[in-house]
Chains A and B, each alone.
Chain A
Amino acid sequence: MFKKILFATSATEASDHAARVAFNMAGTLGATLNIFHVLGVPTRGFSQVVLDVKTKEEVAVDGEYISWVEEEIKNYYANQLANCANCSIKASVGVPHREILRQAREIEPDLIVLGGTTGSEEDSVYKASTGSTLQRVAKASPCPILAVNRPAASFWGGLSNIVFGTDFSKASDKAFEFAFKMATSLNGELHIFHALDITPKNMGMSMPQDEIDHKIREAYKMIRSKYISKMKDFKNYSMNVWEGIPYVEIVKYTREKQADLIIMAHNSRKLDADGPKIGSNMEQVIMRANCPVISVNR
């Protein structure tokens, strides 16, 4: 399923949960793991100087400095690396999301595991472009990306009990293909879930129950025609439609099913103009989920 995983990391505590998942996945699935770190962002105009995101110092990056940072990463992950058969480390400079995407373009991974950011994304070094690193990578990534926000989300370790959350969009179709492939190849369970959004919209009017019931029936029909019909002999699945605030329902549902992975489509093409605010459903789910979340874009 995954032969090559790109793990983009800050090599700090902020990425520890993601690291746990990344190393675990690489080990379980026998994948190669490329540990990638963007050590600094360009500063000082046209010069070669970068601002080291960790030390906040301006450094003139040369081969020696990069090797030194790579060595630091090696030490940071020494325990995990001891048990990782196929790991490589690369440090680079640039704007984080862009360099992660550049690396992805170069090595063509099947999955990007995204660690946390060093420091706050409110820092002016990140403010030059719109949206968070997560948003920007998710928007343009050629492959699915996996994000882990809470420490608790990295403890399950398994990958066999999957919740697929759908909004029936085209991108969700792609996410389904991916989720189904994953469930079959790992011989796991697949829970197909749609959350009917009943957040009061029109001048605070809430949806009448008849309409909710009707929409739920429609959603089940959609699930059957769009997904179940394509699953052939695969029996290990369930489907549910709940009403509520979508991201809350997905998180609740995942807990209920004791799932160890959520797969969703990242639909939003828009980046939050106000900087790295958590906006979309997807990001809310990542923030709150008790397990890793994979975002599929295409």
Chain B
Amino acid sequence: MPEGIFCNKKPIETQEELTALLGDTSGTQYYKEMKELDIDTKLLWTTIQNTCKSRIRTWLEICAHCGMCADSCFLYLVNDRDPKQVPAYKIQSTLGEIVKRKGNVDNEFMRMAMETAWAKCTCCNRCGIYCPHGIDVGIMFGYLRGLLYQQGFVPWELKIGAGMHRVYRAQMDVSEEEFVETFQWMVEENEEEYPGLTVPVDVENADIMYTVNAREVKHYPEDLAEAAILFHAAGENWTITSKGWEQTSLAMFAGDWAACKMQVENVYAAMERLKPKRMVGTECGHAHRATVVEGPYWAGRQDGRPPVECIHYIEWLAEALREGKLKIDPERRIKVPVTLQDSCNYVRNHGLREVAREILSYIVEPGYYREMSPNREHNFCCGGGGGFNGIGLFRPQRNKGLITKRDQILATGAELVIAPCHNCWDAIRDLEEEFEIGIKWSFLKPLVVSMLELPDHMKPEE
């Protein structure tokens, strides 16, 4: 059968299509149709010829199959060192084969490649730092996902996620109005406690334009309130943007290159319209990667940079604490054993390895901080990165993938895990649900808000 009703090569473009696909609960029909889906081998090969550039071709060529990457992969480790989980094998047996066969692959092969690309690699890029040649399998899987998406072989949730970006320019069905309204609601809810609290909307030339993750708006709007409180307490001249407020990109996880471009251009347009000095994004890892690290290339920006300087939330927070814009009440610092989850997307992939540690030096009572082992750029993925967290079909594999992080956390003896990344936060939450190891987990914002020393004029009456 060529194209299915739900599973096909056509991306989601309208709200109606989204609703229809969502209606196929758990993607039952979608995955059934996938088994019959034809491969457009000509398109596949043309795409490879046009987009598979020298870096990936070289990597595929020069891989010596030495196996040095094996132990770097947490999925190899938790799956009893299955040779089929060695990163080099995983990519050679999928992308390598497609290239070798000039795109002449069948349906069964594509489904195997889909499982490999989304359930055997989280694009954490850890293997890249252990390969003697510097071959980064995570990058190649990111590329393979694009080829698979084009042919319609993408997990159901990610087809929906990419569709959300196409329809709403957000990863969930949150409209521009709902975003602004929710932010205002949160400010109203907290203005008694924080007199003068506001949320400036679409202010031009502000020092900071703040962007978020749609899940905060949809499910955890307290996060928006906390962001407003901290900007307010630090005396920042900040704004949100009514258009282009979503920083994340499930399109990146899905391999929907066109949607990646649409999404990030929307954020860049906001920067160009409002001309802030800097953009600060929320505590999210992949959002930073999408908008700050990779986005400029998707948008075809020659200098490889976003229109204005973009920093991660932890960079702003560290700066505000360092410069004394935010003051911490030493009495309220964290006094339980606490550890930090380094997010792959901005630590390993963007060098921010000491920033969160600087923040912890201000907010944790000396003696209570425990490093995970390994840590910083060597840290393992949370177990749910790259879209893994959200894919129902690969839930058992994902749950197994959490074991590395569970054991890392247990070894620290920490009671609290600070995870300044939505994906990590989710994975650690799920890990507690799955294994019940008795830990708590948190973003930085609520912790810092709870220990702020407010200047007198910002204190509530009474």
Contacts and interface: CB of A to CB of B under 8 A. Distances in A.
A273 B333 CA distance: 13
B389 A124 contact: no
Contacts of B450: 273
Interface in A197-216: none
A129 B225 CA distance: 14
Interface string B293-313: 000000000000000000000
Contact of B392 (A44, A101, A105): A44
A95 interface: yes
A170 interface: yes
Interface size class of B (residues with CB under 8 A): 35 or more
Contacts of A44: 389-390, 392, 395, 426, 430
A62 interface: yes
Interface in A127-178: 127-130, 140, 169-170
B22 A48 contact: yes
Given A98-B219, A129-B222, A170-B462, A46 B185 contact: no
Nearest to B173: A48
Q: Which of A46, A140, A170, A269 has the most CB of B within 10 A?
A: A46
A49 interface: yes
Contacts of B250: 46
Contact of A46 (B192, B215, B429): B215
Contacts of B433: 43, 124-125
A127 B440 contact: yes
A298 to B, nearest CB: 7
A298 B433 CA distance: 36
B23 A170 contact: no
B184 to A, nearest CB: 11
Given A95-B219, A170-B462, A46 B193 contact: no
A49 B157 CA distance: 9
Contacts of B222: 98, 129
Nearest to B221: A98
B392 A49 contact: yes
B22 A62 contact: yes
A60 B26 contact: yes
Nearest to B189: A140
B260 to A, nearest CB: 15
Interface string B21-52: 01101100000000000000000000000000
Contacts of A98: 219-222
A49 B189 CA distance: 28
B423 A45 contact: yes
Contacts of A30: none
B23 A62 contact: yes
A188 interface: no
A60 B384 CA distance: 19
A62 B28 CA distance: 14
A273 B160 CA distance: 36
B461 interface: yes
Interface in A254-298: 269, 273, 298
Closest 8 CB pairs of A and B: A45-B389, A47-B390, A45-B390, A45-B426, A124-B433, A60-B25, A47-B157, A46-B390
Interface of B: 22-23, 25-26, 157, 160-161, 171-172, 185, 189, 192-193, 215, 218-222, 250, 384, 387, 389-392, 395, 422-423, 426-427, 429-430, 432-433, 436, 440-441, 446, 450, 460-462
